[in-house]
Amino acid sequence: MEGHRNSLSKVLGRTDVLAIGFGTMVGWSWVMLASTWLTQAGFWGTILAFLIGSLIILGVGALYGELTSALPQAGGEVVYMYRAMGGKAAWLVGWVLAFAYLGVAAWEGIALATALDSILPIGLYLPLWEIAGYTVHLSWAIVGMLGAVIMLLLNLFASRPAVLFQVMGTAAIVLVALLLLFGGLTFGGMENVGESFGSLDGFIYVFLMIPSMLVGFDVLPQSAEEMNIPPRGVGKMVLVCIVFSVSWYLIIIVGLAFSAPLEVRMSGLIPAADVISYAYGDDFFGSILVLGGMLGILTSWNGFFMGATRLLFAMGRAKMLPAVFGVVHPKYRTPWAATLLVGIVCIAAPLLGQNALLWFVDISSFCAVFAYCCVCMSFVVLRKKEPELARPFKVKYGMPLGVCMTGITILYFIIYVQDTLTNRNSFSEMLLFLVWMALGAGLALRTRKDFGRISREEREVLIFGEKMARRRQ
């Protein structure tokens, strides 16, 4: 039976894994929002909110690390959930998380056009149609669609080009952050910082945003099967990526706060670019920062693209989705059907316009937090059900931490759902989510019709491989 299980090639080293995790966690949002954090929460309030929120993400990441080291298969959350709670729960978390990854990936084309327009004006040419109050222009859509084509080509023909791009983009993003920090420390100072602490509401605003700012480390388990590093190292890399990303965000916050006074930080259309231009006294540096933000868009896009394809591949291989998604290209060793699907979605997405794509992003946030809840619960269940399971990276005081993180992530999930239900687009967003779930249910029913009832033994081998599949006693 093992011979019928398609596998991915082990091509990822530690540097590759770090670049995938960190590059996915850093996008474009910080360019627009970091100044707002400082205004609302104050300098020390923002740092404190980040540190507390990051501790929660580190707690969740530790659970991910243990599970990834124990079950290093493509599919991540699907694998853990199946092991802990069975096939229906695994399908549910997999399909919900697929929406999260696709939603973010679909948005990146518009984000890229927005960033590019700030340094190389594209212009609003050839209006096509209006969706959700936003007029879609062909000029902007083409930028997003070309970006999507590049992502597709990077990921379709072998994994190495996509990974190499991720490494180079990540290095450039780090340099931009250091450039901002240097400008703030050299040409600015504490006199620009302003209030140490803002309002309580501002602090809560930043704190609640942390999971959405640090989302992306969870794509690492999707690529666990491709990591050519020891299982213990696989678990550690999840935490390393989170620590690296948090440190990067703190550098950005300090750099922005020191570089320019409040009136500069809040005056322009792209606040972070205005701040670094003020510090160095030259708009050229603002363009450099925007380029760094664009690289953040591309590395985040690439990371979520990879995560979505591996997730769909794992579900297809397990016969939870049509089998074509579980096929590996005989030459390039990539999940070609899943890659084509994600590529087509990303190419078409810019034609929907900014406002409609924001619905995808909003839903993606609570979908990602839902996945965190499921992973935390899977951790607790597996600690109890399979204490003998080999865990090369094992978390100290795992059960108390697992229970604590389960409670916290459930609370976060409730808050995110409430926020989604109370915003002005709640009906459209919920309708979109229900359509997605209905589509998944239809695909699942069609898959079951094609394959018939899959035995537990066969499913175990398809998900875990021959060596790690559980045997009936």
Alpha helices in 261-327 (DSSP H): 262-265, 271-280, 283-317
The residues, ordered by sequence, that sit 6+ positions from 60 with a Cβ below 8 Å of its Cβ are: 372, 375, 376, 405, 409
Give the residue from 447, 454, 401, 450 showing the smallest Cα distance to 65.
401
Identify any residues that bridge with 222 across adjacent strands, giving them in sequence order: none
Task: Copy the structure tokens of residue 447.
Answer: 């898959």
Contact 332, 152 (CB under 8 A): no
Location of structure tokens 């005989």: 330
Give the residue from 356, 328, 284, 337 showing the smallest Cα distance to 443.
337
Around Cβ 78, how many Cβ atoms within 10 Å?
31
User: What b-and-e string marks burial along 314-331, b requiring 16 or more CB atoms within 10 Å of the CB?
Assistant: bbbbbbbbbeebbbbeee
d(CA 415, CA 409): 10
The residues, ordered by sequence, that sit 6+ positions from 204 with a Cβ below 8 Å of its Cβ are: none
Given the candidates 1.20.1740.10, 1.10.10.60, 3.40.50.300, 3.40.50.2300, the CATH classification of the domain at 2-464 is 1.20.1740.10
d(CA 265, CA 276): 9
d(CA 307, CA 312): 9
d(CA 72, CA 465): 10
The residues, ordered by sequence, that sit 6+ positions from 56 with a Cβ below 8 Å of its Cβ are: 210, 211, 405, 408
Give the residue from 66, 61, 96 showing the smallest Cα distance to 78.
96
pLDDT in tens, the chain (473 residues): 444 677 777 888 899 989 999 989 888 788 878 888 888 899 999 999 999 999 999 999 999 999 999 999 988 999 999 999 988 999 999 999 999 999 999 999 888 888 888 877 787 788 889 888 888 989 999 999 999 999 999 888 767 788 888 898 899 999 999 999 999 999 988 888 888 898 899 999 899 888 888 888 999 999 888 888 988 888 899 999 999 999 999 999 999 999 988 888 877 778 888 899 999 998 899 889 988 888 888 899 999 999 999 999 999 998 999 989 988 888 878 898 999 999 999 999 999 988 888 888 888 888 999 999 999 999 999 999 999 999 999 999 999 999 999 999 999 999 888 887 887 778 888 898 999 999 999 998 888 887 777 778 888 888 887 777 776 54
Give the residue from 350, 375, 366 showing the smallest Cα distance to 411.
366
User: Residue 415 is which amino acid?
Assistant: I
DSSP classification of residue 453: P
The pair phi, psi for residue 41, each rounded to 5°, is: -105, -10
d(CA 170, CA 166): 6
Burial class (CB in 10 A: 0-12, 13-18, 19+), 66: buried
- 53 Rama class: left (phi>0) / alpha (psi -120 to 50) / beta: alpha
- The pLDDT of residue 380: 97
Virtual CA dihedral for 37, 59, 94, 381, nearest 10 degrees?
-150
Domain ranges of the chain: 2-464
d(CA 269, CA 289): 14
d(CA 73, CA 70): 9
Four-residue CA torsion sign, 152, 157, 159, 162: negative
Task: Copy the structure tokens of residue 351.
Answer: 């034609």
